[in-house]
Structure 1
């Protein structure tokens, strides 16, 4: 391995290869900011991660989630609001999501969406070259110096003279590390590395262009984790001489505990807030994970049957819109995973599903929503424009008719549906295929007409674990879910995939280990990360 020479701040060690093209983002300011943030906040980050484990232990012992008594005054105080929408974030009626791979960066920026969620988390494999390469692609795109030529010779360039979507970067969650960087001997936080590299390079270009460094914050479980991010923002702005409040962040409400702290999360980030997002797939994953030790009232049916209209999901989205608009914040809907198909019948179904999904969200009061493919941008835009017209958003639709209780959020047992062998097989097949794609460097994989990312793979392995752990009976076969059954179906599903066990062996082994372990593992991507590089 050859590495381009680079001066590093005292205390920083980089073990990954540094290529010449990486130097545009591994700047002195960026590297010094990483070190400064680590020294200021690594301890608090570890405290917040420990608090997650403490809460999970209490839930396992019988405690239940509820709105916090100690923050009741914040929820009942009607006087506070978040900051007004930042430049480029006034109108968010359609946001396209995707990883920062070079070709997909160009496609996203050419999509016509209002916002591009540049994903360094669930849709990205955090191999070292991908982490740095994504930052290079973001900087190059803002400088309009980006192009790509495929192996087939197809050229990709930005459309000239067209306004680009506003870029909003999703860094890795607090639980993830960047193993190729150590500060004072300690492994760096993936969150802080992704944040600092963007802010100190492309973020500065965004400010020069009249917008700003904007972020989507994933996987938070409490308002104290939001407070940590706010402290990071203040520290970083001061370090780089950026006016306080320039950074804006949309928080994904994609963990079960966070649904009970929506107002508090907005409050902690109010000077930097850009609203909340209904991260639906991770939310379903978190429902399973949070109540993994509990019985049949918490066992969800086949993944395909857990729609946005089931009671506990409906309560979650209604509360999100009500909370955001009460505080003057954007409410952004969840990702539709459907993608265009060359099969006419499948394509018609996909567009019909997207249109129904976005129509429901727009009429519920959301200000915009996500699609997973540029081909779905216009379908989403059309449904929101029917409701919004020329208005940039509908924050004034305060939804005072909504009154969601803790019991409503916890009404998982009211979810209709069945657990079937077909659903079990689908979880196994999708999970193994996604892990295989992730390990090969593709964090956003098209599988069976859907754009799968880490969240849907987490649902897949978590449902298998849950059904196995409680020995549920399959509705279509009458067979109990046992380890022997799961092992047999894993073998059968792998044998049915192109390449069989020879191609899918590593992903099969990892999925099987996570899905059939005696103890539940919090994140699939943590052991998967150990296999990278």
Structure 2
């Protein structure tokens, strides 16, 4: 492996780092960086240029130059046997106890998440790699008064690296931090690909936040280079792409085509998708979204997107995976628990009837609920790809139909967004990327909706609540002050200080008051974590 650059580790010493960042692994990362960093930067620049055109009035549409791909008669490559049944997938961060519990949960798949459910402290990302290394070899254990270890039968492991927009500041190559996507993918693949193959499975991934088929092409080229570098047959890597940006919804066929040797399905990443819709059209005065609780899977633009996803996947032989219901059980409150179960059941029933082949849950107690919904529709089959949804005729205007009849912006909705945004940021700064807040599992995607909505409401003059109050900077600042005080009472003074909630409040204020919309809240927040 030819290596010209040198790498510097900027992070503090972390237990297990010598096992993760071996000289050979670092050389592998350097190779990926040297080959793909320029293209990554160019694609991020293309995102910014596309946003400028949307701000100027351009409406997204299906691409004319790729019409032949959409109309062509082709299928994706073969799907391995252990990826055929994906009825229920559980997701969560890569901390040691979570990895064990998720693998033991009874789900078909565990998606170990370095992205939205993980706060990327240096300790979290290094320890996360070590945890997965041990999990692959089935040597992982954890003790905390109780001993946790793997059962004989465990869920299939998939890994979600961070998105193209993020860097890993703790590993600098030359004078640039490495792409976080390449760091997460590269280390897991380098250490575990051959071991997984030996054990009869393979290196399987989820790919987040793509905005175009060209970004999918970049991932495909990374996969090819990685497999060739380790002398692994091309096509061994298998990935599922999250369709969680509104621009990617116009290029689902093309994304499948670019990754056709490596892809096995698409997932309807609903929360990031809602955030993306708000973000991309944030400057359009005729696209003002109501309270986030009103943006359900049944509203026009969400229904169109999921219908098209199922149709596109099944036409090409790919799995169509449903998204995450944010409700989580509460074992201490029967009323809340009953409501959560009912809402998740309704959501999963809807997905199964719509033709999805499986779905996501965030809590082990929801696995039987989701499984029952899909078993009832699919029966003993591993999936329902024979459901082609040929009646679906989604046009560009359907994907952009943001009308939500009868829904409004309320004082409670504004206050909730502020409360959730600050609470989540405080948890994230404290090293927790997935936090149970008000009986919902909040991760970076749901927190993004909260702060994006406040920004949008504040920056369109004359936006007011259903109660008749205009949303002004003064009003938002007052609510931020009040909710910060409420949070201090809720979490207690010690946690309020230790988890930097004052800083979280200030950061939230800066994000929503800024004239320029910050693409991802994790970008400015990242400088505050070690």
Q: TM-score, normalised by structure 2?
A: 0.96
Tell me whether 1:58 sits opposite 2:47 in the alignment. no
Partner of 1:365: 355
Instruction: Give, in whole Å, the separation in 2 of the partners of 1:481 and 1:306.
Output: 20
Corresponding position of 1:220: 210
CA distance in 2, matches of 1:318, 1:105: 32
Q: Distance in 1 between matches of 2:148 and 2:288?
A: 46
Write the deviation string for residues 134-183 of structure 1: whole angstroms up to 9, x where unpaired.
01101111222212223xx2332222x22x21111000000000001111
**What is the CA-CA distance between 1:20 and the residue it aligns to?**
5.0
SS at match of 1:308: coil
Quick check: 2:425–2:501 contact (8 Å CA) kept in 1?
Answer: no
SS in 2 for 1:252: strand
1:335 paired residue among 321, 324, 329: 324
- In the alignment, is residue 104 of structure 1 matched against residue 101 of structure 2? no
Instruction: Give the whole-Å Cα distance in 2 for the aligned partners of 1:416 and 1:165.
Output: 42
> Which structure 2 residues correspond to residues 155-194 of structure 1 after superposition, within 5 A?
155-159=147-151, 161-162=152-153, 164-194=154-184
Q: Show structure 2 runs of 5+ residues with no match.
A: none
The answer to whether the aligner puts 1:307 opposite 2:307 as a matched pair is: no
Offset at 1:415?
Answer: 5.0
Q: Give the structure 2 partner of residue 12 of structure 1.
A: 7
Superposition deviation, residue 233 in structure 1: 0.3
Cα gap change, 1:64 to 1:193, in 2 (>3 Å):
same
In the alignment, structure 1 residue 143 sits paired with structure 2 residue 166: no
8 Å CA contact 1:430–1:457 kept in 2: the answer is yes
Give distance in 2, aligned partners of 1:476 and 1:409: 27
Aligned to 1:124: 118
Distance 1:283 1:416 in 2: 22
Q: Deviations over 1:263-283 (max 9, x none)?
A: 000000000001100000000
Select between 312-321 and 196-205 the one with higher mean Cα deviation: 196-205
Question: How far apart are 1:23 and its partner, in Å?
Answer: 2.6
Distance 1:208 1:381 in 2: 30
Does structure 2 conserve the Cα–Cα contact (< 8 Å) formed by 1:87 and 1:210?
Answer: no
Contact kept in structure 1, 2:112 and 2:157, CA below 8 Å = yes
Structure 1: how far apart are the matches of 2:301 and 2:462? 21
Matching of residues 241-256 of structure 1 within 5 Å: 241-256=231-246
Q: Is the 8 A contact 2:249 2:305 kept in 1?
A: yes
CA contact (8 A) 2:16 2:126 kept: no
Partners of 2:29 and 2:183 within 8 A in 1: yes
Tell me if the contact between 1:312 and 1:415 (Cα under 8 Å) persists in the aligned partners.
no
String of CA shifts for 1:10-60, please: whole Å, max 9, x gaps: 511111134452233223442221000111011000110000011001111
Compute the displacement of 1:424 (Å). 0.3
User: Residues 465 and 471 of structure 2 are in contact (CA less than 8 Å); yes or no, is this contact kept in structure 1?
Assistant: no
Corresponding residue number in structure 2 for 1:37: 32
Superposed, 1:269-348 pairs within 5 Å as 269-295=259-285, 297-341=286-330, 342-348=332-338
SS of the equivalent of 2:372 reads helix
Aligned to 1:4: none
2:300–2:403 CA contact under 8 A, matched in 1? no
Residue 77 (structure 2) pairs with residue 83 (structure 1): yes
Distance 1:495 1:20, change over 3 A: closer
Deviations 1:496-529 (A, max 9, x none): 1233675620110011110111111101000111
Residue 148 of structure 2 aligns to a residue whose secondary structure is: strand
Find the residue that maps to 1:243 and give its secondary structure.
Answer: coil
Note the residue ranges of structure 1 that are not aligned, 5 or more in a row: 1-7
Aligned residue among 4, 13, 21 for 1:26? 21
Deviation at residue 186 of structure 1 after TM alignment: 1.6
CA-based RMSD? 1.4
- Cα distance 1:472–1:379, how it changes in 2: closer, same or farther (>3 A)? farther
Residues 85 and 436 of structure 1: is their aligned pair in 2 closer, same or farther, counting only changes over 3 Å? same
CA drift at 1:477: 2.1
Alpha-carbon distance between aligned partners in 2 of 1:51 and 1:318, rounded to the nearest angstrom: 28
CA contact (8 A) 1:93 1:114 kept: yes
Q: Relative to structure 1, is the Cα distance of residues 472 and 204 closer, same or farther in structure 2, using a 3 angstrom cutoff?
A: farther
Inter-partner Cα distance in structure 1 for 2:23 and 2:349? 47
The alpha carbon displacement at 1:184 in A equals 1.9
Match 2:505 to one of 504, 508, 529: 508
**Alignment map for 1:394-433 (pairs within 5 Å):** 394-433=384-423
**Distance (whole Å) between structure 2 residues aligned to residue 406 and residue 69 of structure 1:** 13
Partner in structure 2 of residue 263 of structure 1? 253
Q: In structure 2, what is the equivalent of residue 46 of structure 1?
A: 41
**1:9 and 1:32 in contact (8 A); partners too:** no
Q: CA deviation at 1:121?
A: 0.2
Whether the 8 Å contact between 1:302 and 1:419 is mirrored in structure 2 is yes
Give the TM-score normalised by the residue count of structure 1: 0.95
In the alignment, the residues of structure 1 paired with residue 169 and residue 267 of structure 2 have an alpha-carbon distance, to the nearest angstrom, of 29
Structure 1 residue 87 displacement after superposition: 3.5
Q: CA deviation at 1:9?
A: 8.4
**Whole-Å Cα distance in 1 between the matches of residues 421 and 13 of structure 2?**
32
Which deviates more, 172-181 or 196-205? 196-205
Shift of 1:302: 0.4
Q: Which residue of 1 aligns with 2:467?
A: 477
- How big is the shift at 1:473? 4.2
- 1:204 maps to 194
